[in-house]
Amino acid sequence: MNAGSEGTLSGWGRVPVPGREVRSEDLEALTRDAVLCRGLGRSYGDSSLPPPGHPVVAATPLADRILAFVPATGNLRAEAGLSLRALNRSFLPRGFYSPVTPGTQMITLGGMVAADVHGKNHHRDGCFGAHVTRLRMRVADGRIVECAPDREPELFRATLGGMGLTGHILEVECRLVRVPSPWVLTETERIHDIDRFIDGLKEAGSRWPHTMGWIDCLSRGPLMGRGILMKGRWAEPHEAPRGVPVPRRRPSVPFVLPGWVVNRWTVRAFNAVYYRRHVPAVRRAVVHPESFFYPLDAIGHWNRMYGPRGFTQYQCVLPESAGRGAARRFLELLTRRGGASMLCVIKDCGPEGIGLLSFPRPGISIALDIPIHDETQSLVDALNELVIAEGGRVYLAKDQLTRPEHFRAMEPRLAAWTCIRRKWDPEARLRSAQSVRLLGDRP
């Protein structure tokens, strides 16, 4: 999908490493000798990239068959390469949707499990893993095993959010949710600063299943953290237009834009226009679910916007214990360091799930894009030091630049997870570029 030039692979951030994909419909055969599976390559950093010593990944998207669906319960079983887009497009017309969806539907079921993805409804419905009832996996010694909350529960918990390192996910069984109509009712609201934003998210979260916000992370002083709060729920039949929303063809960024296109001034201009255009301050609408859940999917190859050196996405969660001021302290550091991010998304997280390395925990999550330049590593280091001091952590599905010592300081759960991984894979044969970097696996 976003394979780079000949002989390289990259994550969605477009920073390449040597590597290639091997593709097949037959996931059992494909995973026999593989060290890593890769779905649609939408993780931003190096979690879907091979270790330097074994530059081949098993690409899963051709293994995309639905194996069973029970309308009475919403129970679905499918091969791990099924994309969320195919799933939604098949089942929305019949009144079902994925219980949890990340900000892109270009992701496979296996990827949703491996990253234990969360969505706009995390405060209410938790991570995707909370809705997974069973997994079929090929573990490191070659055996195929099934795991579930009550069957090999340790392996199950270590696999949710385990970035594909505990075994190759072959099949996923989960529960879809019934929706009252195929349309989404939204309310968007302009918010003037970061403190009011956090109060607004909390307040909206008690009434709306889906909430998130876009913030202008270049504005300073009293306007710091101004932005737009988005709330949504599935429309009731009487609120919805007749008929089923039709998927739309999408425009695409045709080539890699030069590196100067996204800079502090263009981002500032974009942010100001986006913020000011939102009149009146509160708007309601009934919209296509794809435009509510996946606004960025509307532009193909949008990752080409950040120029030839690519970009990284930084996403952290600042725990409730750090207090309301933590988000302000984070934005102050970011604006002081001049991090220009077109996209800065803020969201409140609910309780921690059962995934041993899953990202969310109660608090505020902030995600931003940072184009790669000479200072990016030191900016990420500085942000990580602040996150450690606040007691938070980063999201592995986004990460490219975190240092191993920083990761260990953020993850007191790592020891328990490593212990289970060792039990199933004593030599850490299954590994990725990310696990080599963060966990010290052999290259």
* Stretch binding other proteins (CB under 8 A), from 17-25, 129-137, 220-228, 368-376: 17-25
β 168-175/227-234 pair status? unpaired
* 175 lies in the site for other proteins, by CB under 8 A: no
Place of tokens 């809705």: 131
CA 33/CA 335 separation, integer angstroms: 46
C-beta of 248: minimal distance to other proteins in Å? Answer: 16
Tallying the residues shown for the chain, one arrives at 443
CA 413/CA 355 separation, integer angstroms: 10
Residue from 18, 33, 68, 207 in contact with other proteins (CB under 8 A): 68
Nearest to 285 by CA among 153, 165, 186: 186
* 69 lies in the site for other proteins, by CB under 8 A: yes
CA 174/CA 106 separation, integer angstroms: 18
Helix axes 376-390, 325-336, angle to 10 degrees: 160
* 90 lies in the site for other proteins, by CB under 8 A: yes
Comparing CB distances to other proteins, the nearer of 25 and 154 is 25
* 18 lies in the site for other proteins, by CB under 8 A: no
C-beta of 48: minimal distance to other proteins in Å? Answer: 18
Q: What track of x and - describes contact with other proteins for positions 302 through 331 (by CB under 8 A)?
A: ------------------------------
- Is 162:114 a contact under the CB 8 Å cutoff? yes
* 297 lies in the site for other proteins, by CB under 8 A: no
* 352 lies in the site for other proteins, by CB under 8 A: no
* 177 lies in the site for other proteins, by CB under 8 A: no
* Stretch binding other proteins (CB under 8 A), from 65-73, 113-121, 328-336, 362-370: 65-73
* 62 lies in the site for other proteins, by CB under 8 A: yes
C-beta of 174: minimal distance to other proteins in Å? Answer: 14
Number of shown-chain residues binding other proteins (CB under 8 A): 14
The DSSP line for 301-315 is TGGGGG-TT-EEEEE
CA 358/CA 173 separation, integer angstroms: 19
* 291 lies in the site for other proteins, by CB under 8 A: no
* 25 lies in the site for other proteins, by CB under 8 A: yes
* Stretch binding other proteins (CB under 8 A), from 58-66, 134-142, 308-316, 431-439: 58-66
Helix (H) or strand (E) holding 68: strand 66-70
Comparing CB distances to other proteins, the nearer of 32 and 65 is 65
Spatial CB neighbours of 100, under 8 Å, sequence gap ≥ 6 = 112, 117, 118, 119, 121, 122, 125, 126, 127, 128, 130, 131
Chain positions contacting other proteins, by CB under 8 A: 6, 22-25, 62, 65-69, 76, 90, 94
